[in-house]
Chain A
Amino acid sequence: MTYLLTSLVNGLVFGLLLFMVSAGLTLIFGMMGVLNFAHSSLYMLGAYLGYSIGRWTGFWTALLLAPLAVALLGASIERFMLRRVHRHGHAQELLLTFGLALIIHEIVKLVYGPYPVEYTIPTELARTAFNVNGLNIPLYRLFIGAVAVSMFVSLFLMMKYTRVGLIVRAALSQPLMVESLGHNVGFIFLLVFAIGAALAGLAGAVAGAFYPTGPNMAEDLGSIVFVVVVVGGLGSLEGALVASLAIGLLTTLTVGLDWTLAGALAPLGLSGWAASIGGPFSITLSSLTGSLPFIIMLFVLLVRPAGLMGERA
């Protein structure tokens, strides 16, 4: 019971963090057709900038400044690099962001070294929120969750009820029509890219203090974020939320389970035979946690290619 509860809280928080990063990615993908390989690198930059700025200004100011800096970087990537290669097609744009991810990884290693930096939680949040059966839930986990939820709510309200959101949603499905109605679609693209980058930066600055801030954090999260976008459906914010929560919960819930295929065959009386073969039969579910998102993604692509809430395949 205690295991279930802590796993639920951890899974929810990890899922919400995944959502913060994938929200920008799915918006950019849905709107511009660009699969941004560098998006999780922007998340990593957010964490490192939060750490660097925080050493001068303190945690809270850094939490504001780091996403702004990342947004600025994202905007200049869109304006000066992506727009240049746009006429060569989506594949060229994808390659460009792929190269940018490599460069950002190397620059971070150059500036901060190959080991994680000491980005820590501010003292006012380094407390226990509540206690369940002797297990402490840190307040900072709840803070990460609260930031993500408020972000989702404000993004959702903005997309649904403001004029800007209306135009963005229109540009998502019919960019040419929106352009001929006199809206500056290029500027909308720039705005969406910058907002997406800012969200990734914010997620990095918030999560980097809790999870390790190292040069591999982009790589570790990057492919899972792709999974979220595919499973949730192209350009769908709600889909991204559902998929992030599902994957966050699933990966944390399975971490403690030592079920094996051999064990599953026990009712048939075959478990001894399967365990003797070893290999895939004796891999425990807990050690498959890292692979689980990719198995889910392959399954979803085969069964429902458009994703959970996507409209187009």
Chain B
Amino acid sequence: MKLYVRIALCLATGVVLLAPLTFSDRYANLAIRMLVAALFASAFNLLWRQARLLSFGHGVYFGAGMFAVVHLMRANEAGLNVPLILVPLAGALSGSIIGVLCGFVATLRSGAYFSMITLAIAELIYSLGPRWQALFGGEAGVSSMRLPSMGLSFAALNEVYLIVLGWSAVGFATIWFFAKTPLGQIAFALGDNERRLQFLGYRTHAVKVYLFALSAALSGLAGGLLGVAAENVDYTVFGPASSAAPVIQTFIGGADVLFGPAFGAALLTGFGNVFSDVTRLWLLYQGIAFVLVVMFLPAGIVGSLLMGKKRPLREAIANTLAVLLCSASLIFLCESASILLSDSYSSLRASQDGSWVSYRLFNMELAPGSPIVWGLPLIAALTGLIISWKLKGREETA
């Protein structure tokens, strides 16, 4: 890449990262969540990218960080005087402690067994959560207040964003630097062939525990940052959804690229925030996107952009067109189904003697009985499929 392109890219990134400092609370909050998700997914991916360990229970370490930070902020309210900028470190600390304990057990095994143990640990903590009132605050959770510190009030979220940005930068730098250390290199070798590493005399279990602890510490840091911003937390943070999020985001973004998980996390958090106001099917679309990426883009979005073979412009445009056609008709059909199957629509039908009354979608008045409503999306989807099939055929002959 030419030098001035690099400088321009760096400047643009800097502007994008610093812009939230001027945002109102709603968008500063979104920026914080995107950054936290990016750090969390990258921390999760430390285990997968280097040691090929797939954890399905990282919500535990994220939640441990969040609880630690909220409890520390409560202690601050009671008179302990820890500057707010150092508070997220408590998250990293508690994440690493829990990480060493759980990691020691989980990394006794590899492969699918490792995934199942991490899942079991997460389920264990999740089922204990509501029982341990003093620590997890039961159903209501634990809340606290940010106190002013170092001349800043930290009442508005754009001031908190400064802390989040700083600590995320430290987290990302750690992940980047760790891959270059000897231990990081051994972790890569572990992912390739653990048995060979054992024959070379390395204590692979110790390496895996170190790696797990680092990953858990950074997850705890991410959780701690969210704890500072959200000021409250309850036991549902240990639930399956928060452990599934980094998995989905990482593999959509691209697990084998350093910043793939961060990209996927920021993208999906941003989209999720925008679309969950518009549709209640966002999780369905996210799941479908995840399955499609796993099947057709195993390297993820960033991975295929960086490492995929160069295509002629015409093919790239045709491919994009096919994807757009298919997803547009899929979204239309799903949204229609969601309206037509809802309780409010069936009670509307009942009031009109069971006739299929028309419904509103995307500012259009649509009649469920008309063939155009169903035919047009189907034709669009079919066209998209034919285009991608033709492209694939050409690829195979070439």
Chain A residues proximal to chain B, CB less than 8 Å: 29, 33, 35, 81, 84-85, 88, 90-92, 94-96, 98-100, 102-103, 105-107, 110-111, 113, 219, 223, 226-227, 230, 278-280, 283, 287-288, 290-291, 294-295, 297-298, 301-302, 305
Q: Is B263 an interface residue (CB 8 A)?
A: no
Interface residues of B in 281-329 (CB under 8 A from A): 281, 283-284, 286-288, 290-291, 294-295, 298
Would A294 and B120 be within 8 Å (CB), given that A88-B298, A287-B131, A302-B108 are in contact? yes
Q: Give the CA-CA distance A106 to B290 in the complex, in Å.
A: 13
Q: Which residue of B111, B112, B284 has the most chain A CB atoms within 10 A of its CB atom?
A: B112
Q: Is B27 an interface residue (CB 8 A)?
A: no
Encode contact with A along B112-155: 1 for CB under 8 Å, 0 otherwise: 11011101110110011001101100000000000000000000
Q: Which residues of A contact B109 (CB under 8 A)?
A: 301, 305
Would A94 and B132 be within 8 Å (CB), given that A88-B298, A103-B291, A223-B123 are in contact? no
B284 contact from A107, A279, A302, Cβ within 8 A: A107
Majority secondary structure of chain A interface residues (helix, strand, loop or mixed): helix
Segment at the A interface, from B38-46, B228-236, B333-341: B333-341
Jot down 11 A-B pairs with beta carbons below 8 A, ordered by A: A98-B247, A103-B284, A106-B284, A110-B337, A111-B337, A230-B116, A283-B131, A297-B116, A298-B120, A302-B105, A305-B108
Q: Is B240 an interface residue (CB 8 A)?
A: yes
- Asked if residues B124 and A295 are in contact (CB atoms below 8 Å), the reply is yes
A90 contact from B108, B111, B120, B240, Cβ within 8 A: B111
Minimum CB distance partner of A112 in chain B: B341
Q: Least Cβ distance of A83 to chain B in Å?
A: 11
Q: Which residues of B contact A305 (CB under 8 A)?
A: 108-109, 113
- Asked if residues B240 and A219 are in contact (CB atoms below 8 Å), the reply is yes
Q: Least Cβ distance of B341 to chain A in Å?
A: 6
- Asked if residues B290 and A99 are in contact (CB atoms below 8 Å), the reply is yes
Q: Least Cβ distance of A261 to chain B in Å?
A: 13
Encode contact with A along B260-297: 1 for CB under 8 Å, 0 otherwise: 00000000000000000000010110111011001100
Q: Give the CA-CA distance A278 to B132 in the complex, in Å.
A: 9
Interface residues of B in 28-75 (CB under 8 A from A): 52, 54, 56
B112 contact from A94, A102, A279, A302, Cβ within 8 A: A94
- Asked if residues B343 and A113 are in contact (CB atoms below 8 Å), the reply is yes
Q: Give the CA-CA distance A303 to B135 in the complex, in Å.
A: 30
Q: Give the interface residue-count category, chain B.
A: 35 or more
- Asked if residues A99 and B287 are in contact (CB atoms below 8 Å), the reply is yes
- Asked if residues A91 and B124 are in contact (CB atoms below 8 Å), the reply is no
- Asked if residues B288 and A103 are in contact (CB atoms below 8 Å), the reply is yes
Q: Which residues of A contact B341 (CB under 8 A)?
A: 110-111, 113
- Asked if residues A99 and B294 are in contact (CB atoms below 8 Å), the reply is yes
Q: Least Cβ distance of B136 to chain A in Å?
A: 10
Q: Which 9 A-B pairs have the closest CB atoms?
A: A102-B287, A106-B284, A99-B291, A290-B127, A294-B124, A103-B287, A35-B112, A99-B290, A294-B120
Q: Which residues of A contact B288 (CB under 8 A)?
A: 103
Q: Is B244 an interface residue (CB 8 A)?
A: yes
Chain B residues proximal to chain A, CB less than 8 Å: 52, 54, 56, 105, 108-109, 111-113, 115-117, 119-121, 123-124, 127-128, 131-132, 134-135, 240, 244, 247-248, 251, 281, 283-284, 286-288, 290-291, 294-295, 298, 334, 337-338, 341-343
Q: Which residues of B contact A110 (CB under 8 A)?
A: 281, 284, 334, 337-338, 341
Q: Give the CA-CA distance A230 to B286 in the complex, in Å.
A: 30
Q: Least Cβ distance of A31 to chain B in Å?
A: 13
Q: Which residues of A contact B298 (CB under 8 A)?
A: 85, 88, 92
Minimum CB distance partner of B337 in chain A: A110
Q: Least Cβ distance of A215 to chain B in Å?
A: 12
Q: Give the CA-CA distance A81 to B291 in the complex, in Å.
A: 9
Q: Least Cβ distance of A141 to chain B in Å?
A: 25
Q: Which residues of B contact A33 (CB under 8 A)?
A: 112
- Asked if residues A291 and B112 are in contact (CB atoms below 8 Å), the reply is no
Q: Which residues of B contact A290 (CB under 8 A)?
A: 127
Minimum CB distance partner of A100 in chain B: B291
Minimum CB distance partner of B102 in chain A: A298
Q: Which residues of A contact B251 (CB under 8 A)?
A: 95
Q: Which residues of A contact B108 (CB under 8 A)?
A: 301-302, 305
A96 contact from B116, B281, B291, Cβ within 8 A: B291
Q: Give the CA-CA distance A96 to B342 in the complex, in Å.
A: 29
- Asked if residues B128 and A291 are in contact (CB atoms below 8 Å), the reply is yes
Q: Which residues of B contact A294 (CB under 8 A)?
A: 120-121, 123-124, 127
Q: Least Cβ distance of A82 to chain B in Å?
A: 10
Q: Give the CA-CA distance A288 to B124 in the complex, in Å.
A: 9
Would A230 and B113 be within 8 Å (CB), given that A110-B334, A110-B337, A302-B108 are in contact? yes
Q: Which residues of A contact B131 (CB under 8 A)?
A: 283, 287-288
- Asked if residues A283 and B132 are in contact (CB atoms below 8 Å), the reply is yes
- Asked if residues A291 and B135 are in contact (CB atoms below 8 Å), the reply is no
Would A95 and B294 be within 8 Å (CB), given that A90-B111, A279-B135 are in contact? yes
Q: Give the CA-CA distance A113 to B251 in the complex, in Å.
A: 29
Q: Give the CA-CA distance A121 to B295 in the complex, in Å.
A: 40
Q: Give the CA-CA distance A103 to B284 in the complex, in Å.
A: 6
